[in-house]
Chains A and B, each alone.
Chain A
Amino acid sequence: MIFLGDMTLLKYDITVEDTGETFVCHENEFILNAMLRRGNGPISHGCCGGGCGVCKMRIVSGLVFIEKRMSAEHITREERENGIALLCCVKPRSDIVLTRVTTTHELQRANPLTAINGGALKL
């Protein structure tokens, strides 16, 4: 038996517009997993399940496949139509350019947790 490993998988470049960073994501990998695995990109935490909304970003260009359901609390229909997605739910089908959007978390900066967290959640 010959193992082809990931040689048979298509690889795409994911570029984060805000920082200019680029990382590779396989066609069968969720973009957030690739970002966490490579340790670059603006997101360092999250549920990886489509539930918490931390990994919300705008897909400026490129095609993705939405494999997992994204919580309606974090992605409205309109946002979805405008290319906003939860990165833990989508896989690339081309090279992708991403940019940051305001997440529900950043809107909650007024809560007391922020004071002790120092607003340190890297999003």
Chain B
Amino acid sequence: MALNKLLRPGLIQLRVLDLDKTLNFYKNILGLDEVCRTSDGRVCLKTYDEFDHHSVTLRLADTAGFDYAAFKVDSPETLEEMKEKTIKFGYAVDEVPANSNQPGFGKRYGFTICTGHRFEIYCDVELAEKGPQIKNPDIWTTPPRGMRAIRLDHFLLYGPNIEEAERFCKEVFGMYSPEVCNLPDGKRLATWLTSSNKPHDFAFVEYDKPGKIHHIGFYLENWTDVGNAADWMAIHRLKRDIGPTRHAITRGQTIYFWEPSGNRIEVYSGGYTAYPDNPLRIWDSDMLWRGLFYYEGEMLPSFLEIVT
């Protein structure tokens, strides 16, 4: 789907408070497959429909939240080019050697942006052993489990100075914003960014505390699967934040809930097709609730303020 040289968010590492319970959620309820474990006890997972080695790594820690996200780019040339541009932009870049702390991944460059989040870029990653078929392919090899997550889709990050972060993503990553939300004084409250036709690869909300994550979004096939996900939440007594409902922003059909370590998860389907030449959609902050929860049209206090 990528239009640009940055292909997609390919990997996210999350901190969890209870590895067994949380892993059980990701595997048996969300429906991811366990790919491998690292020597320091982290667990690598992927959806049934992803080709690359893994897309989610869970790390046991004494806090929940976001360690880092890594983005796949289209070539070694782009990788070096984006590294240089990042340094020029003013962020210090370090190098993570191939096949070190993320099995199957080639060399990664990492840096921390102004919002306090560590981003990484890479161009090489091994294909998963258990990926989708490619020769006269069936739609799956083993039946998708639980909520039947198709892919790691996007995430929403909270941190300071998202105007700079947005500029970084545009200037260095070559991304564009299909949609933004502004405060009455014209300052950005939220921005959605994509490198593809997806309405967002990730989004930012302005927040005084750095390095926070609001949610991680996984893609489902359709509205029926959003309902199926709601059934799984009810059966397993997962705490739901809101949904099933519809976003006017991105147009996704969605539910937000919390996994056992308190990281908010979104399961999401649909969404419009974004193009970089489409006009920017602008939300006033007093209309944000309608943008977020189109059916309810009203505020949900827990939604904006609770982060990990």
A residues bordering B, Cβ < 8 Å?
Answer: 44-52, 54, 68-73, 105, 108, 110-118, 120-122
Contact = CB atoms under 8 A, between A and B. Distances in A.
28 contacts: A45-B301, A46-B239, A46-B302, A48-B262, A49-B17, A49-B262, A49-B263, A50-B262, A51-B258, A51-B261, A51-B263, A51-B308, A52-B306, A69-B18, A71-B17, A71-B64, A72-B62, A73-B63, A105-B305, A105-B306, A112-B187, A113-B207, A113-B304, A113-B305, A116-B183, A116-B285, A117-B299, A121-B302
A72 B209 CA distance: 16
Interface in B243-264: 258-264
A111 B258 CA distance: 23
B44 to A, nearest CB: 21
Given A71-B63, A116-B288, A52 B208 contact: no
Contacts of A48: 239, 258, 262
A51 B299 CA distance: 23
Nearest to B22: A49
Interface residues on B, range: 20 to 34
A117 B305 contact: yes
Contacts of A72: 62-63
A114 B207 CA distance: 10
B286 interface: yes
* Residue in A46, A54, A116, A117 with the greatest tally of chain B CB atoms within 10 Å: A116
B206 interface: yes
B205 interface: yes
B199 interface: no
Contacts of B263: 47, 49, 51
A101 B52 CA distance: 46
Interface of B is mostly: loop
B307 interface: yes
A51 B215 CA distance: 13
B217 interface: no
* Residue in B64, B187, B209, B259 with the greatest tally of chain A CB atoms within 10 Å: B64
Nearest to A54: B306
Interface of A is mostly: loop
A116 B18 CA distance: 34
B146 interface: no
Contacts of B183: 112, 115-116
B178 interface: no
A121 B302 CA distance: 6
Contacts of B205: 113
B64 A49 contact: yes
Contacts of B187: 112
B64 A45 contact: no
Interface string B175-192: 000000001000101000
B308 A47 contact: yes
B9 interface: no
Contact of A47 (B286, B288, B306): B306
Nearest to B258: A47
B83 to A, nearest CB: 31
A51 B301 contact: no
Contacts of A51: 17, 63-65, 258, 261-263, 308
Contacts of A49: 17, 64, 239, 258-263
A121 B17 contact: no
Nearest to B262: A51
B211 to A, nearest CB: 11
A115 B264 CA distance: 23
Given A51-B308, A110-B208, 14 more contacts: A46-B239, A47-B263, A47-B308, A49-B258, A69-B17, A105-B306, A112-B189, A113-B189, A113-B205, A117-B304, A117-B305, A118-B299, A120-B299, A121-B302
B160 to A, nearest CB: 9
A122 B189 CA distance: 22
